[in-house]
Each structure stands twice: as C-alpha cells, then as structure tokens.
Amino acid sequence: MRVEIYDGDRSSLEALSGLATGRADLAMMELQTDPRRAHTQILEAISIFEELAEQAPNRPSLTLGLPSALKMKARIEEHWPQVMSD
C-alpha cells in the first residue's frame, strides 16, 4: 500500500501520522489472535510512515513510530514466518 500525500498542510500530515500509529497499535493487539492480519496492518503503518518521511523530511516528529513498527514487523516475521507466504 502506497499512500500519496498531495496536501502538505499540517493537519493532514498529523492525521496520516495518527493513522499510521493506529495501524501499528492495531497490529500489536491482533498479534496473538491473527498474526497474518497484524502483519498486514504493520506493513500499512510502515508504508504511511515512510511516505511521510519522504514527503515531509522537515517534520521528523511525524515518523516517531517508524522504528518500533519496523521492529514489530521483524518480530512478526521471525515468530510467524507463515505470514509471508501467499
């Protein structure tokens, strides 16, 4: 999933950052019950964070959740390798 950011206004960027954080939180909650869904959620969060980093490099506060999202992705893929199949 690639998120295109056309509107660079502050509230839009903050909303996208909140969306990414929400996806990461949802992934954490779904981890034990549905690792495949958690993996999808964390990939979406990472995609949003990366797009924010690319399009708003002067706003690092928007991507504070990226390092933990990347760690969670690695954890999911290590403990539930089947999520990467299909």
* Domain-located, residue 1: no
Q: How many domains does the chain have?
A: 1
- Measured CA angle at 31 (ends 86, 38), to 5 deg: 45
| Average pLDDT estimate for 36-65 | 93
Give me the pLDDT at residue 8, please.
57
pLDDT class of 2 with cuts at 50, 70, 90: low
| Range of the structural domain that residue 34 is part of | 7-83
| CA angle, residues 64, 53, 84, in degrees to nearest 5 | 80
Q: How much is the pLDDT for 67?
A: 95
Integer Rg of the chain from CA? 13
Q: 71 vs 55, which has greater pLDDT?
A: 71
Residue 63 lies in a domain: yes
pLDDT on residue 1:
53
Could you tell me if residue 49 is inside a domain?
yes
| 71 lies in some domain | yes
27: CATH? 1.20.58
